[in-house]
Each structure stands twice: as C-alpha cells, then as structure tokens.
C-alpha cells in the first residue's frame, strides 16, 4: 500500500504469504475471464431480444426485464459475495457461484415462458458477482505493491474488450439456431472459466478467515460500511467512473438522437471508449514501478477534470451535424475517449486502495465498493441519463459534474490522511 493511513483506519494485515512475485499468463487470463462473466451475461443476450420477443409475444418493455432483473439481483447479492469469501475462502465462493450460474444458464435454455426466463436471469445475477467481485480480492491476496497494480490493470485491459465482443459473440451464436444457443454459448464459456478457476490456489487460509455466522458477516459489512475513509474512497471511485459511464448509460439517446446515427452505429461511440479504457489500463500497468499509487489516482482525477472540460469545449463549438462521418462526429466522440483513458488511470489503483483499507475483510470491502458503483450506475441509467441527454452540451456538463465531485472527494480523502502525519 502506498498511501500511509493512520493506524486507527487500517488493522495489521493478516499473515497470508504472497503466493508469487509475478503473475503468469494463466493466472492473468483466468482472473480476467472471471471478471468478464458480468458483461458477457448482459451484452451477449442483446442480439437475441428480437427472437425471444417473437417466440413469447413480448414487447420491448417486457424484454428489458431480462436486463433489469439480472442487474437488480447482481446489485443485492454483491453485498454478500465478499463477506462470504472472507469466511469460506475465495475459491469456494467463486466455484460455488459459477456452479449456480451454470444452473441458471441451463434453466434459461429450457425456459418455456418469458417469466421463467426472467427468473433464471435473477439466478444468474445472484451468482455472477461471486466470480466478478471475488476475483479482484484474489489479485490483492496473491500480490502486493506494483505487481498487484500491474495485474489489476492487465485484467481491466482484457475486461474492457468484453462489452464490444459480447454482442458479436451473441450474433454468431444466433447463426447456429434460435435464441437458446446464446444462453448455451455463454454457459459453455462459464464452464471453461469454472475449470480454469479450479486450478487457482486458495488465497485465504483457514486461520485468516472470519467466522461463518450471520452476525459475523453482517458485522464485517457494518465495520467496513461505517468507515469514513471507505465511504470517501468508494464515493470518489463511483463518481470518477460515472463521468465516463454517463455516456454509456445514455448511449441509445446519444447515438441515435444527438448524433443522428442508426441502430447499427453504436460502434462509433463504443470503439473510442474501449480504445481509451485499454490505453489507460496499459499506462497503469507501465506506471506500477514508476509512480506512487496515490499520486497516480490524483493524476487520473486531474486528467479526468481536464478531459471533461475539453469535451465540453469540443461539443460546444463543434459545427452542426450533417449526418454520417464528419468533423462534428469526430469531435463528439473524442472527448468520451479521452475521459475513458483518464478514468482508467484511476480505476484500477483506487480498487486496490479500497481493498487495502481492510486487510482482514477484503471481501467485504470489495463488495461494498462494488455496491456503491452499481447503485450510482443504476441511477445514471434510469434517472440521470434521460435528464441530461437533451443535448451534447448538457451531457458534457453532467460528465464534468461527476468528475468535479469525484476529485473533491479524493482530495478530501488525501488531505484527511495526511493531516495526522503533518501534525
């Protein structure tokens, strides 16, 4: 850990030895594959919506429940996956979650009605976080310092490709047959990930685990959740990421209504976003041995502030849209790409900051940190995005607002931490 927290905030780390000095390709790909379960579960299904609706006679509103039911279940259970891994061990929770997830996928293939399919999506949402959330904890269990940051950045770089690859994968599966092939294909992917996960070492030995009792699990969540330091960092992380995610949450309105493009043109926005995310994650990995983690996060927030301001300038003075590829379109997607790059600079390091706050309760810290982000993302998608997509300028202002709020929270955290040392 690079930021020196007061002893009242951080208990001594458990005596869990670092398993390896360097992360090999197998471990990196396995952890990235575990993290990709979440976006694959959401985005791969999108191309199948038309066929699902045709078979069950369902409209777009009913089909949207396939997404919202999954996300709601994921958000609720995200609170518990981490504490369970603190009590049972990381590997048992990840493997158990994947087994339940596979049952949900098999149930989806066999679903006779839309209602039963939605129930299977709930089961998938309840279990997917076991892989996505706990895999981050495994990174910090196995590695420390610059190697932990480097591995987190590499996993994020691979993970960032998932939202773009998943719909393409889903479209290919539809060439084989009806919509059930999509769920079967994602299930096959999860089965491969399950096999790979069985080869991971258990990173939390029995002597370092918390008691498996309801009171102990809720107590760990309460201990982590009432920490002012945790709340500041988690809120800063959520707001920083929101400055990028607001473009994703409002993508349907941004691409079709504001940019005047068609339903097949979402790549115009998502390809630059993915390029920005991957480039930023690459820089984070390279900077692991060169820069203090806290300083890198600060640089990420400063960069995000600059990128959101530049984006506002670009869209405010861009020429009128004439349709198709143009300078106006290029200026409109350049800002989000730069914002994605700068957000990636802070995202992986700030995840490690959250985990290092509670060495004995890393699972609970990962769960609550994820829950903060999920709640804000849900608000962005359901409430904020429809309100701020009246124009490119209002969308840019919203992105700037989240960047400012995140930077304020992070600055508050850094100054609070340094104050006792300067006294």
Instruction: Give me the pLDDT at residue 196, please.
Output: 93
- For 310-349, the pLDDT digits (tens) are 999 999 887 766 555 677 788 889 999 999 999 999 988 8
The pLDDT-based confidence of 288 (bands split at 50, 70, 90) is: confident
Instruction: Give me the pLDDT at residue 14, please.
Output: 43
H helices within 160-288, ranges in order?
162-174, 180-197, 214-225, 228-249, 251-253, 267-286
Instruction: Give me the pLDDT at residue 324, please.
Output: 58
- Cα separation, 72 vs 60, in Å, equals 18
Instruction: Give me the pLDDT at residue 165, please.
Output: 77
Instruction: Give me the pLDDT at residue 91, please.
Output: 92
Give me the mean pLDDT over the 224-236 stretch: 88
Instruction: Give me the pLDDT at residue 323, please.
Output: 58
What is the DSSP track for 167-198?
HHHHHHHHTTSSTHHHHHHHHHHHHHHHHHHT
Inform me whether the pLDDT recorded for 3 exceeds 50: no
In this structure, the number of other CB atoms found within 10 A of the CB of residue 379 comes to 13
Inform me whether the pLDDT recorded for 72 exceeds 90: no
- Cα separation, 358 vs 230, in Å, equals 9
Give me the mean pLDDT over the 71-81 stretch: 86
In contact, 343 and 243? CB cutoff 8 Å: yes
Inform me whether the pLDDT recorded for 150 exceeds 90: no
Instruction: Give me the pLDDT at residue 220, please.
Output: 80
Give me the mean pLDDT over the 363-383 stretch: 79
b/e sequence 45-78, b meaning 16+ C-beta within 10 Å: bbbbbebbbeebebeeeebebbbebbbbbbbebb
- Cα separation, 121 vs 68, in Å, equals 9
Instruction: Give me the pLDDT at residue 313, please.
Output: 94
Q: Decide: helix, strand or coil at residue 7.
A: coil
In contact, 73 and 62? CB cutoff 8 Å: no
- For 11-37, the pLDDT digits (tens) are 444 444 444 556 577 888 898 899 889
- Find the Cα–Cα–Cα–Cα dihedral 104, 108, 112, 113, rounded to 10°: 90
H helices within 317-391, ranges in order?
327-357, 362-379, 385-388
- Cα separation, 223 vs 417, in Å, equals 19
Give me the mean pLDDT over the 258-277 stretch: 81
The pLDDT-based confidence of 135 (bands split at 50, 70, 90) is: confident
**CATH for the 21-209 domain, from 3.40.50.2300, 3.40.309.10, 3.40.50.300, 1.20.1250.20:** 1.20.1250.20
Cα-trace Rg, the chain: 21
Instruction: Give me the pLDDT at residue 219, please.
Output: 81
Give me the mean pLDDT over the 176-189 stretch: 94
The pLDDT-based confidence of 279 (bands split at 50, 70, 90) is: very high
Inform me whether the pLDDT recorded for 54 exceeds 80: yes
CATH architecture of 219-423: Up-down Bundle (1.20)
Instruction: Give me the pLDDT at residue 22, please.
Output: 64
- Cα separation, 237 vs 239, in Å, equals 6
The pLDDT-based confidence of 6 (bands split at 50, 70, 90) is: very low
Per-domain residue ranges for the chain?
Answer: 21-209, 219-423
Same fold flag, 21-209 and 219-423 = yes
| CB hemisphere CA count around 255 (13 angstroms) | 16
Q: Decide: helix, strand or coil at residue 318.
A: coil
Inform me whether the pLDDT recorded for 1 exceeds 70: no
Inform me whether the pLDDT recorded for 280 exceeds 70: yes
């Amino acid at each position: 850990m690079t930021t020196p927290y007061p002893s009242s905030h951080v208990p001594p780390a458990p005596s869990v030895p670092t398993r390896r000095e360097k992360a090999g390709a197998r471990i990196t790909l396995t952890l990235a594959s575990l993290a990709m379960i979440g976006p694959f579960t959401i985005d791969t299904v999108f191309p199948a919506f038309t066929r699902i609706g045709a078979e069950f006679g369902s409209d777009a509103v009913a089909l949207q429940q396939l997404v919202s039911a999954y996300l709601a279940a994921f958000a609720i259970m995200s609170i518990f996956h981490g504490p369970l891994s603190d009590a049972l061990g990381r590997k048992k929770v990840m493997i158990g979650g994947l087994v339940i997830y596979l049952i949900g996928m098999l149930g989806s293939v066999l679903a006779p009605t839309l209602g039963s399919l939605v129930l299977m999506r709930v089961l998938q949402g309840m279990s997917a976080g076991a892989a996505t959330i706990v895999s981050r904890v495994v990174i910090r269990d196995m590695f420390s310092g610059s190697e932990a940051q480097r591995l987190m950045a590499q996993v994020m770089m691979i993970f960032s490709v998932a939202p773009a690859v998943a719909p393409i994968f889903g479209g290919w599966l539809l060439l084989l047959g009806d919509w059930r092939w999509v769920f079967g294909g994602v299930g096959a992917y999860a089965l491969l990930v399950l096999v790979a996960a069985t080869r991971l070492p258990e990173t939390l030995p029995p002597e370092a685990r918390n008691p498996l009792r309801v009171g102990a699990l809720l107590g760990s969540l309460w201990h982590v959740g009432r920490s002012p330091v945790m709340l500041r960092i988690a809120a800063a992380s959520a707001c920083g990421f929101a400055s990028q995610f607001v473009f994703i949450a409002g993508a349907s309105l941004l691409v079709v209504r504001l940019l005047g493009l068609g339903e097949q043109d979402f790549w115009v926005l998502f390809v630059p976003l993915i390029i920005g995310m991957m480039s930023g994650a690459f820089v984070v990995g390279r900077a692991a041995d060169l820069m203090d983690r806290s300083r890198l996060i600060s640089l990420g927030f400063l960069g995000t502030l600059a990128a959101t301001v530049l984006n506002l300038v670009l869209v405010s003075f861009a020429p009128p849209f004439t349709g198709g590829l143009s300078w106006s379109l290029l200026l409109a997607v350049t800002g989000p790409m730069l914002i994605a790059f700068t957000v990636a600079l802070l995202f992986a390091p700030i995840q490690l900051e959250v985990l290092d706050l509670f060495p004995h309760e890393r699972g609970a810290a990962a769960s609550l940190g994820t829950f903060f982000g999920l709640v804000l993302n849900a608000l962005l998608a359901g409430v904020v995005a429809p309100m701020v997509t009246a124009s490119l300028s209002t969308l840019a202002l919203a992105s700037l607002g989240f960047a400012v709020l995140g930077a304020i929270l992070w600055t508050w955290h850094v100054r609070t931490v340094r104050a006792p040392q300067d006294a």
